[in-house]
């Protein structure tokens, strides 16, 4: 009896330590692959992904996000698990990982497993252990849910290729947008050890696509694609640099997602910023919005930002920011503009753009229709016309639009950084009062 | 002879489709027809009331016609809308079908016509039910009773059980599980490696009652995980509430304290 209690405690302890150590990894999505369950095993996948809970920080919990071990031979300055930190260390056995995943999955707590690891021994040894756990899960336990596997920087191509046939998604963290940042803060990693496996995964996935067209039932290699993560605000890089890196990752490495993680200071270090106001969450949010614009709204990084204006105005979203700098493209006529033009209007998303296109086949649309279709008129009204008329006769002036779009609570924070600073008397003339 | 024609039917897909069949074959002007799934509190003037009993064959005919002439996507939107708790759904579905099928030729793109208020209602209800359905896929929790059975209790606004069935049978084919809608007292029963069925008037026996069971080992491990995965520096209860509304939480084990 006593030994059982002892054992249970230790699994709980391990789970606490190894999930705590994994929490700074942001990717917790379970999207990108559709898979029906089969009679034999347990589990299926939905391309949209499913969120199973939300933790106190408001982030989605979709996967059992754990490290295999938090022992690590690397000494990355930003990382809680670096070798020079004196913290509790623990290691899961492959069987323990399987048991937790299966039992959590059965109760519908999770959508699958997110397995990362500190580097114990060598990158290859670590990768082998991770593969062993995932292999057991797939083959002994018949698990068909979602698996996101981290590739360990420096692991051999052969191992990464093996892992890719077991996982739905793989990722390697780029960590920092610039090579200098990486060199300074992660002395054991280099651009090559990160980008080489990333390229290898991309090439293998392309090859797999050709195999699949020939043999429909051949095994699939990372069917949900590859992702990566960058830390925001630990080194001095600008939004423009970050976004340009993300754009080239999407184009050159065919990544599915790039995640941004506001830097959380876990280690005091003279090379790291102190951040007394907490992590740069708003900046992270704006980067995600801009990332969406790259992936779904046909924007280029160089349209959103320029070397001359390398950072977003955190008070307004990147699309508004772009629109205010390109007033010559507005107003847009809702009843005639094409999809691509509609997408660029603040307050119109992909869904409402499609709805506008579909609905106007049945007759002209007015502002009342737009409101019911789901267009955010609060933002859109400055940029659109319906049958040649604007909703109110608002002027096409960046200053005017900006101060009307801004939440009045933010006015005091708005330093007039990008636009002309308002005086009190000018404000008095605005339509809002 | 311009009385409104009100068809009263049972509150599920079969009931509504039977009423659609009856109303259509009644040959009234379409604009006079209403379908209601609840007995009216007061009878109104200038209305003719028709009670409609479920009829499997009529239901199948309507079902088949929608799928064949308007396509699976429109069919899906109508089925989801029919699961909504809003009373307006019956008439909105009928009038949407009039738009889609009542013209010279069927229009599979009928759902795009968002200028029409009835179609807009169906589209809105579809979205609402779909969100709740999709939330439930993640937020529903099974607990283990008597070793090898899994029980989940939910109380959604919409009638979700039949919509949830395909997902969970595909996910857990080798388990005995049950999902109980405590509000409607209906349950979905799945037998290991077997079929699935919907039962009415189900009440959970007291020995399965959640309150008299202690949390199991994995429930406690899950709670541990749930707390340790959150980043303290980023804590944001408002965001959490926005993403995971309170109404879902009383069935979720990690919020039971």
Q: Are residues A295 and A329 in the same domain?
A: no
Within 8 A of A36 by CB-CB distance, chain B residues are 170
* C-alpha–C-alpha distance, residues A268 and A137, integer Å: 38
Q: Can you tell me the distance from the alpha carbon of B253 to that of B88, in angstroms, rounded to the nearest whole number?
A: 35
pLDDT digits (tens, 9 = 90+) for A5-28: 444 448 999 999 999 999 998 877
Out of B115, B173, B230, the one facing A57 most closely (by C-beta) is B230
Distance from the Cα of A8 to chain B's closest Cα (Å) equals 8
- Among B110, B132, B154, the domain boundary falls at B132
* Cβ–Cβ under 8 Å, residues B198 and B13: no
- pLDDT at A64 exceeding the cut of 70: yes
Same domain flag for A332 and A289: no
Is the pLDDT reported for residue B171 higher than 50?
Answer: yes
**A313 within a domain of the structure (yes/no):** no
Q: Which residues contact B96 (CB under 8 A, 6 or more apart)?
A: B78, B110, B111, B116, B118, B119, B122
- pLDDT exceeds cutoff 70 at B188: yes
Is residue A196 scored above 50 in pLDDT? yes
Read off the tokens for A27: 């990717």
Between A43-47, A342-346, A352-356, B210-214, the lowest mean confidence (pLDDT) is in B210-214
Poorest-pLDDT segment among A257-266, A337-346, A423-432, B109-118? A423-432
| Partner-chain residue, chosen from A19, A358, A369, that has the shortest CB–CB distance to B225 | A19
pLDDT at position B211 over 80: no
Mark whether A263 and A369 lie in a shared domain.
no
Work out how many domains chain A is built from and give that number. Answer: 2
CB-CB under 8 Å, B150 with A107: yes
pLDDT (average), residues A75-99: 93
Whether chain A has a CB inside 8 Å of the CB on B119: the answer is no
- What is the span of the domain harbouring residue A383? 318-428
Share of chain A above pLDDT 90, in %: 72
Residue B256's pLDDT is what?
Answer: 85
* Distance between CA atoms of residues B64 and A72, nearest Å: 61
- Chain A neighbours among B 166-185 (CB < 8 Å)? 167, 169-175
Q: What is the pLDDT of residues B110-153, one digit of tens each?
A: 999 999 999 999 999 999 999 999 999 999 999 988 878 999 99
On whether any CB of chain B is under 8 Å from the CB of A82, the answer is no
Long-range CB pairs of A322-330 (<8 Å, 24+ gap) are: A322/A293, A323/A383, A324/A398, A324/A401, A324/A402, A324/A419, A325/A398, A327/A396, A327/A397, A327/A398, A330/A382, A330/A383, A330/A384, A330/A396
Q: Could you tell me the residue range of the domain that residue B38 belongs to? A: 4-132
Test the B interface: residue of A25, A108, A113, A264 with most B CBs within 10 Å? A108
Same domain, A296 and A346: no
Of the candidates A246, A278, A304, which is a domain's last residue?
A304
Q: Are A298 and A339 in the same domain?
A: no
Residues A298 and A340 in one domain: no
State whether B164 and B123 are in the same domain. no
| Distance from the first to the final alpha carbon of chain A | 73
Number of structural domains, chain B? 2
What is the pLDDT averaged over residues A202-209? 93
- Both A361 and A219 in one domain: the answer is no
**What pLDDT is stored for residue A417 in this prediction?**
46
pLDDT band at B213 (very low <50, low <70, confident <90, very high): low
| Structural domain ending residue among the three candidates B72, B106, B132 | B132
Tell me the three-class secondary structure of B58-98, residue by residue: HHHHHHHHHHHHHCHHHHHHHHHHHCCCCCCHHHHHHHHHH
Among residues A270, A304, A338, which one ends one of the domains? A304
Look at residue A429 in the predicted model and tell me its pLDDT. Answer: 40
Asked if A326 has any chain B CB less than 8 Å from its own CB, the reply is no
pLDDT band at A411; cut points 50, 70, 90 = low
The residue out of B86, B107, B132 marking a domain boundary is: B132
Q: Within chain B, what is the greatest distance between any pair of CA atoms? A: 70
Question: pLDDT class for A430, splitting at 50, 70, 90?
Answer: very low
Q: Could you say which of A55, A100, A355 has the minimum Cβ distance to residue B230?
A: A55
pTM attached to this predicted model: 0.90
Whether residue B234 lies within 8 A of chain A, CB to CB, comes out as: yes
pLDDT value at residue A409:
63
Residues A166 and A38 in one domain: yes
Question: Do B103 and B177 sit in the same domain of this protein?
Answer: no
Task: Choose among B150, B229, B230: nearest Cβ to A106.
Answer: B150
Contact B235 A278 (CB under 8 A): no
Confidence at residue B8, expressed as pLDDT on a 0 to 100 scale: 95
Of the pLDDT bands very low, low, confident and very high (cuts 50, 70, 90), residue A426 is: very low
Q: Is the pLDDT of residue A251 over 50?
A: yes
CB-nearest to B229 from A19, A50, A106 is A19
| Contact assignment for A16 to B228 by CB distance below 8 Å | yes
Q: Burial code of B54-73, b = ≥16 C-beta within 10 A, e = fewer?
A: ebeebbeebbebbeebbbee
What is the Cα–Cα distance from B248 to B251, expressed in whole angstroms? 6
Measure the CA–CA gap between A98 and A104, rounded to whole angstroms.
10
Q: Which of A225-234, A263-272, B49-58, B234-243 has the lowest mean pLDDT?
A: A263-272
pLDDT of residue A127: 95
Kindly state the tokens that stand for A58. Answer: 């408001």
* A70 and A134 assigned to the same domain: yes
Question: For residues A149 and A182, is the Cβ–Cβ distance under 8 A?
Answer: no
Which of B74, B112, B115, B122 would you mutate first to test chain A, the one with the most A CBs within 10 A? B115
Mean pLDDT of A265-280: 86
Portion 90-109 of A in contact with B at CB < 8 A: 100, 103-104, 106-109
Cβ atoms within 10 Å of A424's Cβ, excluding its own: 6
Q: Is A169 on the interface with B (CB under 8 A)?
A: no
What tokens appear for B117 in the block? 């208020």
Contacts of B239 in chain A (CB under 8 A): 54, 57-58
Mark yes or no for CB contact A107/B175 under 8 Å.
no
- The number of beta carbons lying within 10 Å of the beta carbon of residue A183 is 13
């Amino acid at each position: 009896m006593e030994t059982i209690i002892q054992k249970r405690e230790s699994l709980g302890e391990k789970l606490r330590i190894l999930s705590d150590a994994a929490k700074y990894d942001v990717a917790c999505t379970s999207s990108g692959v559709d898979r029906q369950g089969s009679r034999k095993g347990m589990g299926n996948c939905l391309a949209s992904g499913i969120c199973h809970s939300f933790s106190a920080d408001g982030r989605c919990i979709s996967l059992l996000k754990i490290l295999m071990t938090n022992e690590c031979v690397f000494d990355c300055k930003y990382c809680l698990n670096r070798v020079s930190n004196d913290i509790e260390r623990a290691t899961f056995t492959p069987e323990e990982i399987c048991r937790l995943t299966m039992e959590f999955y059965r109760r519908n707590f999770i959508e699958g497993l997110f397995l990362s690891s500190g580097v114990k021994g060598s990158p290859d040894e670590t990768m082998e252990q991770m593969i062993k756990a995932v292999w057991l899960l797939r083959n002994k336990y018949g698990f068909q849910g979602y698996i996101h596997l981290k590739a360990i920087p420096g692991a051999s191509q052969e191992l990464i290729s093996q892992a890719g046939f077991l996982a739905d998604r793989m990722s390697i963290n780029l960590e920092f947008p610039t090579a200098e940042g990486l060199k300074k803060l992660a002395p054991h990693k280099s651009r090559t050890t990160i980008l080489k496996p990333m390229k290898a995964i991309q090439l293998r996935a392309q090859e797999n696509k050709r195999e699949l067209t020939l043999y429909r039932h051949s095994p699939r290699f990372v069917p949900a694609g590859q992702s990566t993560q960058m830390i925001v605000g630990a080194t001095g890089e600008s939004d423009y640099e970050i976004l340009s890196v993300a754009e080239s990752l999407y184009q050159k490495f065919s990544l599915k997602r790039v995640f941004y993680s506001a830097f959380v200071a876990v280690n005091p270090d003279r090379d790291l910023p102190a951040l007394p106001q907490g992590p740069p969450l708003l900046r992270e949010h704006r980067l995600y919005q801009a990332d969406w614009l790259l992936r779904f709204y046909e924007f280029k990084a160089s349209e959103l930002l320029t070397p001359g204006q390398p950072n977003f105005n955190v008070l307004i979203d990147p699309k508004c920011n772009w629109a205010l700098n390109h007033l010559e493209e507005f107003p847009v006529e809702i009843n005639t503009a094409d999809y691509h033009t509609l997408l660029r209007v603040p307050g119109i998303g992909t869904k409402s753009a499609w709805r506008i296109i579909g609905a106007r086949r049945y007759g002209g649309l007015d502002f009342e229709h737009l409101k019911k279709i789901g267009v955010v008129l609060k933002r859109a009204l400055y940029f659109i016309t319906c049958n040649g008329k604007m909703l109110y006769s608002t002027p096409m002036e960046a200053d005017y639009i900006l101060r009307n779009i801004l939440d009045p609570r933010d006015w005091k924070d708005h330093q007039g950084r990008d636009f002309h600073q308002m005086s009190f008397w000018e404000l008095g003339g605005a339509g809002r009062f | 002879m311009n009385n409104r024609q009100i068809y009263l039917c049972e509150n599920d897909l079969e009931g509504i489709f039977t009423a659609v069949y009856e109303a259509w074959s009644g040959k009234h002007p379409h604009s006079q027809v209403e379908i209601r799934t609840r007995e009216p509190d007061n009878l109104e003037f200038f209305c003719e009331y028709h009670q409609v009993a479920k009829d499997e064959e009529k239901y199948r005919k309507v079902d088949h016609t929608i799928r064949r002439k308007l396509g699976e996507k429109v069919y899906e939107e109508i089925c989801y809308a029919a699961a909504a708790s809003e009373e307006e759904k019956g008439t909105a579905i009928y009038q949407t079908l009039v738009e889609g099928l009542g013209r010279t030729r069927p229009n599979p793109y009928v759902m795009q016509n968002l200028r029409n208020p009835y179609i807009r209602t169906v589209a809105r209800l579809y979205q609402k039910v779909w969100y709740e359905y999709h939330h439930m896929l993640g937020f529903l929790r099974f607990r283990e009773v008597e070793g090898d059975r899994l029980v989940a209790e939910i109380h959604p606004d919409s009638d979700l059980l039949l919509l949830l069935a395909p997902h969970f049978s595909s996910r857990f084919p080798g388990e005995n599980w049950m999902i109980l809608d405590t509000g409607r007292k209906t349950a979905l029963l799945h037998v290991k490696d077997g079929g699935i069925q919907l039962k009415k008037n189900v009440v959970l026996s007291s020995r399965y009652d959640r309150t008299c069971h202690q949390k199991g080992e994995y429930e406690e491990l899950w709670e541990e995980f749930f707390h340790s995965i959150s980043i303290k520096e980023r804590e944001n209860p408002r965001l959490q509430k926005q993403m995971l509304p309170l109404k879902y939480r009383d069935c979720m084990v990690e919020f039971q304290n």
